[in-house]
């Protein structure tokens, strides 16, 4: 959604929300990007001054806000706050990041049938929650559908009224978008949930063809086509064309219900997701969302008992002492000559026997390690035990020799320390031998008397 700077006449604070940018302007007022004290971002719409002076508009607007508070659905923007008694009434909904369906199709072109069906199924579920709350949106169109990272969201319930209310007119003009209005809205008849089904069919047709099913032209021309001419679905894929044609029926009774439409679109999305055209959107606006479907390929790995058999065979090949692998249970046992004979020429087999091994292009399994006397070391089996072999006796002998040598070394160290221990422990100094003095060197006094 494009953002613009605030203009001089735009307010900076509305209620408890601080306004930051302009998100757009419509027939009812201006939409701003705001935030509260906790930093929660909202889309805040301020009603036009001329509509604010209309008491009938205020009363209907109050009923709509009361009904919108009851809407609980994941595909709609939640109502956060509203002030119906202000000089210019306003309401704030949860801000939904992401491009609108109109901008997406305008930039990237028509969507694939799988993507259109996935978006339609999610929007049908959202409309089901709206209709259960007793509300009709009345202005469902591509610009009021945002493709968020968590899936499509329906926004702008500004002209949605309670079920059974007549169309709202201002200066003789029906409120809404001419290419997506239902015939009963143009005639001024009562609106029903079937009114939103007509608008959803026109919206999905736009996603398939990048054009309105009633073409282009002035408002009067578009409204005439909606009432008197059939929708043009030439560019709609065959998988969706019959369903969208039923949604665009002139008589509301001939249109499918919201629940049946959701179920049928889910079936089409699941079927088309595995076809050649069922790829995800190129941009990351819907990464991880339910309206994107990626093709999944079945795994070629064996499962169940066959997988356990393969795992056991791989383990035995790695630990086995023979060079030939264990034959596959589904293959007949090969002869000894066919297994040991190299697949390549004799010269190639003689240069690197490890790489040739018993089969073509496969590395021969390494032999089991052996001890000094040629005995094999114990190998763990797949069940966790040890295979019996002649190497246990050798291991036992080595352990005994190691223990005996360790004891002898310890005894020797203890004996050496015991000889020097008493003298150091009692603090008795060993006498230092003194060489006998000679008269020619020390004179008649001893060496110890020179310092007296």
The residues that are catalytic are: 139
Give me the residue label for tokens 């059939």: 230
311, 316, 318, 324: CA torsion to nearest 10: -120
For 91, the 3-state DSSP assignment is: strand
How far is 166 from 50, CA to CA, in rounded Å?
21
Q: Are strands 173-174 and 17-25 parallel, antiparallel or unpaired?
A: unpaired
Is residue 139 within 8 Å of residue 45, measured between CB atoms?
no
Give me the residue label for tokens 């249970």: 329
Neighbours of 26 (CB within 10 A): 17
Give me the residue label for tokens 């595909």: 75
Nearest C-alpha neighbor of 151 from the set 280, 295, 297 = 280
In residues, how long is the chain?
452
How far is 311 from 317, CA to CA, in rounded Å?
10
Tokens (6 digits) for 91: 């309401």
Neighbours of 368 (CB within 10 A): 13
How far is 136 from 82, CA to CA, in rounded Å?
19
Is residue 142 within 8 Å of residue 105, measured between CB atoms?
yes
């Amino acid at each position: 959604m494009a953002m613009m700077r605030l203009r001089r006449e735009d307010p900076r604070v509305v209620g408890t929300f601080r306004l930051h940018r302009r998100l757009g302007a419509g027939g009812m007022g201006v939409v701003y990007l705001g935030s509260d004290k906790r930093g929660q971002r909202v889309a805040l719409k301020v009603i036009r001054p001329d509509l604010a002076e209309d008491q009938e508009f205020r009363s209907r607007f109050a009923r709509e806000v009361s009904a919108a508070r009851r809407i609980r659905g994941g595909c709609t923007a939640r109502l956060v706050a509203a002030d119906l008694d202000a000089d210019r009434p306003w309401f704030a909904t949860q801000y939904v990041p992401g491009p609108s369906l109109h901008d997406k199709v305008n930039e990237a072109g028509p969507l694939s049938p799988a993507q259109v069906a996935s978006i339609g199924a999610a929007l049908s579920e959202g409309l089901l929650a709206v209709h259960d709350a007793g509300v009709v949106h009345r202005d469902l169109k591509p610009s009021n559908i945002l493709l968020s990272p968590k899936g499509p969201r329906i926004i702008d319930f500004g002209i949605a009224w309670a079920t059974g209310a007549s169309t709202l007119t201002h200066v003789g003009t029906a409120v809404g978008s001419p290419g997506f209005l239902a015939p009963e809205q143009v005639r001024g008849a009562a609106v029903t949930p079937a009114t939103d089904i007509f608008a959803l069919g026109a919206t999905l047709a736009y996603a398939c063809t990048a054009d309105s099913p009633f073409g282009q032209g002035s408002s009067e021309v578009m409204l005439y086509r909606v009432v008197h001419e059939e929708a043009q679905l030439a560019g709609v894929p065959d998988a969706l064309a019959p369903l969208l044609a039923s949604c665009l029926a002139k008589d509301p009774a001939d249109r499918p219900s919201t629940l049946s439409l959701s179920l049928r679109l889910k079936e089409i999305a699941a079927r088309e997701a595995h076809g050649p055209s069922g790829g995800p959107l190129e941009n990351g606006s819907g990464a991880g969302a339910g309206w994107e479907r990626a093709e999944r390929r079945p795994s070629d790995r064996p499962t169940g008992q066959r997988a356990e058999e393969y795992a056991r065979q791989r383990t035995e090949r790695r630990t086995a002492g023979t060079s030939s692998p264990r034959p596959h249970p589904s293959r007949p046992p090969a002869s000894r000559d066919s297994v040991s004979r190299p697949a390549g020429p004799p010269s190639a087999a003689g240069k690197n026997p490890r790489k040739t091994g018993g089969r073509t292009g496969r590395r021969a399994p390494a032999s089991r390690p052996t001890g000094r006397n040629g005995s094999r070391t114990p190998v763990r089996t797949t069940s966790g035990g040890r295979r019996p072999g002649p190497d246990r006796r050798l291991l036992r002998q080595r352990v005994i020799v190691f223990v005996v040598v360790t004891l002898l070394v310890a005894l020797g160290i203890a004996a050496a320390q015991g000889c020097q221990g008493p003298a150091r422990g009692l603090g008795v100094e060993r006498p230092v031998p003194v060489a006998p003095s000679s008269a020619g060197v020390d004179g008649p006094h001893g060496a110890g008397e020179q310092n007296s």
